[in-house]
Structure 1
Amino acid sequence: MYEYDVSKSNMWREVHEQPEIIRHVIDVNLPIIENICKEVDNRNISKVLLVGRGSSEHALLVGKYAFEIYTDKLTSMAYPSIITLLDGKLDLSDVLTIGVSQCGEAKDVYTVLEKCQNQGGIAVSVTNEHECLMRNVGNYYINCECGKETSFTAAKSYMSQMVITLLFAAVLSHDEKVLEQIKKAPDIIEQSLCKNIEEQVKKSVPLFRNVQDILLLGRGFSYAVANETELKIMEASYTNAKAYSSCDYPHGPIATTNRFIPVIFFLTDEKTNDSTIKLVEKIKKDFSVSTLVVTNNEKYITMANEAVLLPKEAEGVAGVFGMVVFSQLFACLLSLARGYNPDEPIGLSKTTVTF
Structure 2
Amino acid sequence: MIDTSASIFWREIFQQPTAVRDCLKANREIFQEIAAEVKRRGIKTVVFVGRGSSDHANLVGRYLFETRCGMIGSICAPSVVTAYKSDIDYSNVLMIAVSQSGGAQDIYQVMKQCDEQGGLCVSVTNVEGSLMTQAGKYKINNHCGPEMSITAGKSYLTQVTIVTALAAYISQDPELLQVLDELEEIVETSLKVLEPQVRDVVRFYRNTEHMILSGRGLMDALANEVELKIQETSYLDARCYGSADYRHGPIATAMRFVPYMFFIADEKTNYCAIDLLKRLKEETHIWCTVVSNKPEIAQMGDTSVVLPENCDGIRGVFAGAIVGQMFSCLCSLSRGFNPDSPKGVSKKTVTV
TM-score class, shorter? over 0.9
- Equivalent-residue separation in structure 1 for 2:53 and 2:183 (angstroms): 18
- Residue of structure 1 in register with 2:273 after alignment: 276
Instruction: Confirm or deny that 1:92 pairs with 2:121.
Output: no
Kept in 2, the 8 Å contact 1:97–1:116? The answer is yes
Residue 354 of structure 1: aligned partner: 351
More divergent stretch after superposition (73-82 vs 127-136):
127-136
| Alignment-derived partner of residue 241 in structure 1 | 238
Task: State the identity %.
Answer: 45
- Deviating more after overlay: 64-73 vs 176-185: 176-185
Retained in 1: the 8 A contact 2:47–2:95? yes
| TM-score, scaled relative to structure 2 | 0.98
Q: Determine helix, strand or coil for the equivalent of 1:90.
A: coil
Could you say which residue in structure 2 is the equivalent of 1:124? 122
TM-score of the superposed pair, with normalisation by structure 1: 0.98
**Per-residue deviation, 1:184:** 2.0
Counterpart among 263, 268, 271 of residue 260 in structure 2: 263
Kindly indicate whether the alpha-carbon contact (under 8 Å) linking 1:49 and 1:76 is maintained by their aligned counterparts in 2: yes
Shift of 1:18: 0.2
**1:140-289 alignment, distance < 5 Å:** 140-194=138-192, 196-289=193-286
**Equivalent pair of 2:164/2:176 in contact (CA under 8 Å):** no
User: Where does structure 2 lack aligned partners over 5 or more consecutive residues?
Assistant: none
**Distance in structure 2 (CA, Å) of the matches to 1:309 and 1:213:** 23
Preserved contact between residue 293 and residue 311 of structure 2 (Cα < 8 Å):
yes
* Aligned residue identity for 1:261: V
Post-superposition Cα deviations, 1:56-109, rounded to whole Å, max 9, x if no partner, equal 000010000000000121010000000111011211000000101101110111
Counterpart contact for 1:216–1:230, Cα < 8 Å = yes
1:8-66 C-alpha deviation (Å, 9 max, x unpaired): 00000000010111011111112111111111110101110000000000001000000
Q: Any conservation in 2 of the 1:213–1:261 contact (CA below 8 Å)?
A: yes
Shift of 1:313: 1.3
Structure 1, unmatched stretches of 5+, are none
Cα distance between partner residues in 2 of 1:52 and 1:184: 27
Contact 1:211 1:260 (8 Å CA) reproduced: no
Aligned-residue Cα RMSD (Å) equals 0.9
Match of 1:193, SS state, is helix
Q: Distance in 1 between matches of 2:235 and 2:257?
A: 17
**1:22 alignment partner in structure 2:** 20
Which secondary structure state, in structure 2, belongs to the residue aligned with residue 249 of structure 1? helix
Pick aligned residue for 1:322 from 314, 319, 323: 319
Distance in 2 (alpha carbons) for counterparts of 1:99 and 1:197: 31
- The letter for the 2-side match of 1:337 is S
* Cα distance in 2, alignment partners of residues 255 and 261 from structure 1: 13
Figure out how many residues of one structure are paired with residues of the other and give that number.
Answer: 352
- SS at the partner of 2:299? helix
Does residue 304 of structure 1 match 2:301? yes
> Aligned-pair distance for 1:301?
2.4
